[in-house]
Amino acid sequence: MSTSVPSDPSQRSFPPFSLTRLIGTVFEPTEGKRVCVLIDLADPAGMKDFAFLEDPDLSIQRYAHDIFYQGLKNGGMAEMGMTGGEMFAFR
């Protein structure tokens, strides 16, 4: 079955974002697995007390925190039967 995507963006529609649907689709099966969120930081020491959240230039990393990390901690892991949920940074 072939699905065509309209070339005009105004003609496209998508379901509301769902973290659990995204993870379940990309990493299926998820039940019983461990999960973590990885971000890049010029200085990984910025992970201490989530100090990087105060830097307005790190909007992508903040998005990872707000949507993925918080989403996992606030019920996403339990819904998918996963464990872990830590957030780590690398240089």
What is the per-residue pLDDT across 23-55, written as a single tens digit (0 to 9) for each?
A: 988 988 889 999 999 999 999 999 999 999 999
The model's confidence at residue 1, banded by pLDDT at 50, 70 and 90, is low
Q: Answer for the pair 37, 87: CB distance below 8 angstroms, yes or no.
A: yes
Q: Answer for the pair 29, 81: CB distance below 8 angstroms, yes or no.
A: no
pTM of the full predicted structure?
A: 0.82
